[in-house]
Amino acid sequence: MKDERIKLGVSLYSYQDEFFRRDMTLKDCIEAVSDMGASGIEILPEEMIRDCFHLTDAFVDDWFSWMEEYHTVPVAVDGFCDEKGLWKKAGHVPSLEEAVAVQKRYVDVAARLGCKYVRTQIRDMDLLRAMIPYAEDKNVILALEIHAPGHVRDQINMDWLNVREQTGTRYLGFIPDFGIYEHKATPIIMRQCIRDGATAEIWEEAEEKKAMGWGWDEMKAYFEPRCRTSGDMDAVWRVYNVQPDDPKDLLEIMPYVVGFHGKFWNMLEDLTEESVDYAPVLKVIHDAGFRGYINSEYEGGRHMQDTGEVRGVEQVRRHHAMMRNILEKL
């Protein structure tokens, strides 16, 4: 790849099926990243590290020996738990102290594994302010993922920038997810909706109504009486939920972007992604002078587990080939 400012990595979320089937160990996943010529590693601790919040010296030694052996770099820890949502679902509203304790665990893991940042979904500004001194002390950036159906200019992102400016910290950043550039309902997901009972007619009509500018309230009122299964309504929601952002809006936050999630659902044999056009987004990132990692995040596997064996490694290999082709032309 000619432009080494932009580096390629992998969120090991992409290999979750191979890991779950025990076809691959964590070491195998890291080796697979290296084999395709990439170097960045983003890990989900709960998914791939036993007793992840009590890391042993032996595991940490293994981790860094794998990094050296495969010429890879620990980039990010993907924090699974949000600050309050999962607690509320369990019937408990956490105190600020409890929420801080949860978030500190991810920062601790990132610091121990040598990762630059934690991907987080903190949306409570009191919690965010409370976490800044700890992140600074551990030299780990808190990075908010900008995820579909969100957009770069959403208020939550502006709130983060305001806190960053008010506190003067360098330890708050962003991780834009390429899913915000999805330009059509993802075919692999829509096919799953049909297997779950949706009809092609409902899908097509939902596309028509959305193209006419209908809002969600209009679509819900119109389709709910017509939907015969939960799959039907899920298809309507997924059609409506495609709200592609303008890649040029990235320029407003690029100084604070610490990395990207290279979200994709299905890479075809011709090295194109079914529902995200990567070229215009990569051009904006390239022209803005971004230096850092795009970590591939394959999400299609969980929408086709009922149809055959998921092959995350091959999907990510195609994804990297596509990005390299685009970047080399730039």
The DSSP string of 84-132 is SHHHHHTT----HHHHHHHHHHHHHHHHHHT-SEEEE----HHHHHHHH
For 225, list phi and psi in degrees, rounded to 5.
-70, -20
Query: Which pLDDT belongs to residue 34?
Result: 98
Q: Does domain 6-184+244-329 have CATH number 3.20.20.150?
A: yes
Segment 38-42 mean pLDDT: 98
CA distance 305 to 312: 12
Residue 1 pLDDT exceeds 60: no
Give 3-21 pLDDT, tens digit per residue. Answer: 468 999 999 999 999 999 9
Q: Which of 93, 87, 171, 86 is nearest to 128 (CA)?
A: 171
- Helix intervals (H) in the chain: 16-20, 26-35, 45-48, 57-70, 85-89, 96-113, 125-138, 155-167, 187-195, 200-211, 216-223, 230-240, 278-287, 312-329
Domain with CATH 3.20.20.150 in the chain: 6-184+244-329
Query: Which pLDDT belongs to residue 3?
Result: 45
Segment 24-32 mean pLDDT: 98
- Per-residue CA distances from 103 to 43, 76, 89, 293 (Å): 16, 14, 18, 23
Check: CB of residue 86 under 8 Å from CB of residue 22.
no
User: Residue 250: CB partners within 8 Å, gap ≥ 6?
Assistant: 152, 176, 257, 281, 284, 285, 288
- Model confidence band, residue 61 (pLDDT cutoffs 50, 70, 90): very high
Query: Which pLDDT belongs to residue 20?
Result: 95
Eight-state DSSP code of residue 297:
E
Check: CB of residue 17 under 8 Å from CB of residue 312.
yes
Residue 83 pLDDT exceeds 80: no
For residue 40, give the H/E element and its range: strand 40-43
Query: Which pLDDT belongs to residue 2?
Result: 45
Query: Which pLDDT belongs to residue 87?
Result: 66
- Whole-model pTM: value is 0.93
Residue of 196 and 111 predicted with greater confidence: 111
Segment 89-94 mean pLDDT: 76
- Model confidence band, residue 82 (pLDDT cutoffs 50, 70, 90): low
Write down the residue that tokens 């009191």 correspond to. Answer: 126
CA distance 172 to 77: 15
Characterize the bridge pairing of strands 172-176 and 117-120: unpaired
Q: Which of 127, 120, 106, 242 is nearest to 174 (CA)?
A: 120
Percent over 90 (pLDDT), the chain = 88
User: Residue 174: CB partners within 8 Å, gap ≥ 6?
Assistant: 143, 144, 145, 146, 157, 160, 253, 256, 257, 258
CA distance 289 to 278: 17
Give 110-142 pLDDT, tens digit per residue. Answer: 999 999 999 999 999 999 999 999 999 999 999
CA distance 160 to 143: 10
Give 292-301 pLDDT, tens digit per residue. Answer: 999 999 999 9
Beta-bridge partner residues of 201 = none
